[in-house]
A and B are shown apart, each in its own frame.
Chain A
Amino acid sequence: MIDPADQQGGVPAAEAPDIVPPTSASDDVLRAEHIAKRFGPVTALRDVNLHLKKGEVLGLLGDNGAGKSTLIKILCGFQKQDSGEMFLRGKPFEPKNVDDARAQGIDTVFQDLALIDELSVYHNLFLRRERVFKPLPLLSNRRMKREARTALDEIGINIPRIDVAVARLSGGQRQAIAVARTVNSDADIILLDEPLAAMGAKEGAQILDLVARLKEEGKVSIIMILHNYVHVLQACDRVSMIQDGVIALDKPTAETSVEELTEIVVNEYRRAREQSHREEAQAAGSQPPA
């Protein structure tokens, strides 16, 4: 594997980050190859190659606007890529929408949590998977309450009342509900977009504990967007870093360190600064610095 830190450690390179080529393992559950996505004039993803092994926890890192959330939204069927292919358990994967991806076993916690403030905790937990009195279309609220309580207890999330609107919960509790909703589904691939955002240290630790427990059980594979490198090294098996719309680093966490990850980001900032200096210089009509 190419190590950007080695390559760029000495002389700060000005060119774009290296692209990790498509890789695969025999036990891949999800694979994305050459994914590109543009929003009008903005290129969010240029050429992303990513794979997720069975039972693995993959940490996805990257600067703000690097394309992490876009990648998650493509993987979960919320948006469609412009080009590139995805494979789910070795078969081509072209989700029509979130429901379709979910039916195929991919469930997601979005950055904005997709919680409905006006609805109760248990209605949020069961949104799109409501329990009804078959064959009547009436909601079985009692059953959802009971199952919600059981699910939250199993997951180890403490929510005092599950019949209150989620608007009344704290940021950490809301995040926990969103994670619980996904975990409680029958998904075997879970995508978490910044699960530790808006959380205190204690609540964040609970979520990481939950991820660790899920990993131990070994039934689900997880891709998780994180910002804190310590969390990444603690919770993930492997780390992929997005820079500039491509995956620029892909390593087992055991082979990397906070220092290396920091170094890469520092280099990225240095590169960006040089780039903007050069552009300013060009705009001023002078020669770029040698």
Chain B
Amino acid sequence: MASVAQDPASTGPGGPEGPAQSRRALPGWRQIGSRIIALREGSIIVITLVVAIYFSANTSNFLTGGNLETLLPYFAPFAILAAGEVFVMILGEIDLSIAGMYLFAPIIYYKLNTSVGLSLGLSLIGALLICVAVGAMNGVFVSVLGINSFVTTLGTLFTFEGLSLIISKGTPVATPGGQVPVGTFGKVFGAGTYSELIWAIAIVVLLQVALTFTRWGLYTVAIGSNKLGAAEAGVRVNLVMIRNFMLCALTAGLVGIFEAIRAQTVQPNPAGPNEILFFAVAAAVIGGTLLTGGSGTVVGALIGALFLGILKDGLILQGVQANYLLFYTGLAVIVAMTANVFVGRARRGHGGSD
């Protein structure tokens, strides 16, 4: 660590000594440690491990199968939401309307199934298509019309939370496909114990591959890093931006339906989704995605969500009074983010290739 931290000082702008120093052999553990830090997600991996080890040591039942089952609902939905949000945040934008989609999608899903009479599968697809259309609208407002994404998506957030209340008349209803006995459809889409975890991992892997190994991902980073430059190089900036907002709305709608099926009821109450929105953004930021754009990882967001999940779960297991939960979470987020920034600086100075 010490040698890593020294590097930024010795590396001038484009100084040739940076690469040379990073190549020198480090013995054993230090080499492994240096490798992990060289990863973009390295710092949050270390921090999450530390927190997990702390709770395993200090509570008797953190490392039990039963607890891991309760941990999953804390973590998987945030991971999926954050995965979509990362694609928007790397652009240097933000999508607040994911809370709106999270609330709106299950209500449309319910209506399509009960009022229109579509099958469960078609209702799901229909609800998600509507989410994607809203995402496209966000994207057009932000990229083509040049309206700030915070303002645009704040507008769509309120609009669709409002529409959710209007359509549902504010009354909770039983989620189609989520009722006991739960069928295969329900088990696949949220009700199965590991359903959301499997979805989360599949989506994160898929999107990380898209981000790292496809043109789409490359252009996303390019736009976030240098929008004018990307346009001059011939990147279709508007198209990429619209596509990313569509993806973000899609993941939000999907999680909304998962959670409604898991909870068996569609709750038209904006309070929950609004809190979830902030946890999703926190997961992305803790995972190393910059709010200023140009840099971020989906895997990091998954680990950021895991960190938040472990923290909440561990605090509950430790018997922390419910009133203190948010307070401790807040402090932990600040500490984790600060550590993240410092380790990140060490990493950049360290000269690891991206």
Q: Do A and B come from one complex?
A: yes
Give chain A's interface residues, CB within 8 Å of chain B: 78, 97-99, 102, 108, 110, 112-120, 123, 127-128, 130, 132, 137-139, 141, 160-161, 163-165, 168-170, 173
Contact with A along B257-295 (1 / 0, CB 8 A): 000000000000000000000000000000000000011
Q: Whole-angstrom distance between the alpha carbons of A97 and B236 in the complex?
A: 10
Question: When A and B form their complex, which 7 residue pairs have the shortest distance between CB atoms, in order from nearest?
Answer: A170-B14, A114-B232, A114-B229, A118-B225, A99-B234, A128-B234, A116-B222
Interface string of B224-245 (1 = CB under 8 A from A): 1110111111111000000000
- Provide the residues of chain A in CB contact with B225, threshold 8 Å: 116-119
| Complex CA–CA separation, A130 to B295 (angstroms) | 20
B234–A98 touching, CB < 8 Å:
yes
A160 with B226: CB separation less than 8 A = no
Whether the pair B215, A169 counts as a contact (CB closer than 8 A) is no
Once the chains are docked, how many angstroms separate the CA of A110 from the CA of B213?
27
Q: Which residues of B contact A160 (CB under 8 A)?
A: 16, 19
Q: Does B181 contact A (CB under 8 A)?
A: no
In angstroms, Cα B210 to Cα A138, docked, is 8
A78 and B222 within 8 A (CB): no
With a cutoff of 8 Å between Cβ atoms, the chain A residues found around residue B65 in the complex are none
- B353 near A120: Cβ-Cβ < 8 Å: yes
A169 touches B221 (CB 8 A): no
Within the complex, the shortest CB–CB distance from B107 to chain A, in Å, comes to 35
**Which of B13, B218, B226, B353 contacts A164 (CB under 8 A)?**
B353
Can you give 11 A-B contacts (C-beta < 8 A)? A78-B231, A110-B229, A115-B226, A116-B229, A117-B226, A119-B221, A137-B214, A137-B216, A138-B214, A168-B18, A169-B14
Min distance, Cβ B291 to any Cβ of chain A, angstroms? 14
Residues of B whose CB lies within 8 Å of any CB of A are 13-14, 16, 18-19, 209, 213-216, 218, 221-222, 224-226, 228-236, 294-295, 351, 353-354
Which residues in B have their C-beta under 8 angstroms from that of A164?
A: 19, 351, 353
Q: Which residues of A contact B213 (CB under 8 A)?
A: 138-139, 141
A110: contacting residue among B18, B232, B294, CB under 8 A: B232
A118: B residues at CB distance < 8 A: 221-222, 224-225, 294-295, 354
Q: How far is the CA of A115 from the CA of B294 in the complex (A)?
A: 13
Q: How far is the CB of A190 from chain B (nearest CB, A)?
A: 15
Q: Which residues of A contact B19 (CB under 8 A)?
A: 160-161, 164
Report chain A residues within 8 Å CB of B235: 127-128
Given contacts A119-B225, A127-B218, contact A97 B353 (CB under 8 A): no
Q: Tell me which of B214, B230, B236, B351 contacts A116 (CB under 8 A).
A: B230
Q: Is A163 in contact with B353, judged by CB distance below 8 angstroms? A: yes
Q: How far is the CA of A101 from the CA of B236 in the complex (A)?
A: 14
Check A114–B226 contact: CB distance below 8 A: yes
Whole-angstrom distance between the Cβ of A101 and the nearest chain B Cβ = 9
How far, in Å, is B228 (CB) from chain A's closest CB?
Answer: 7
Once the chains bind, are A130 and B224 in contact (CB under 8 Å)?
A: no
Closest to B225 in A: A118
Do residues B234 and A117 form an inter-chain contact, with CB atoms below 8 A?
A: no
Which A residues are in CB contact (< 8 Å) with B231?
78, 98
**Contact (Cβ within 8 A) B354 A165:** yes
| Contacting pair A112 B232 (CB below 8 A) | yes
Measured between alpha carbons, how far is A127 from B226 in the docked complex, in Å?
13
Min distance, Cβ A164 to any Cβ of chain B, angstroms: 6
The CA-CA distance from A139 to B295 in the complex, in Å, is 18
Docked pose: A115 CA to B231 CA in angstroms: 11
Assess whether B234 is in contact with A97, with CB atoms less than 8 Å apart: yes
Indicate if the CB atoms of B232 and A78 lie closer than 8 Å. yes
Q: Which residues of A contact B218 (CB under 8 A)?
A: 119, 123, 127, 130, 139
Q: Give complex CA distance A165, B19 in Å.
A: 12
Q: When chains A and B are docked, how far (Å) is the Cα of A138 from the Cα of B19?
A: 28
Residues of A within 8 A of B232 (CB): 78, 98, 108, 110, 112, 114
Given contacts A118-B225, A168-B18, whether A137 and B233 have CB atoms under 8 Å apart is no
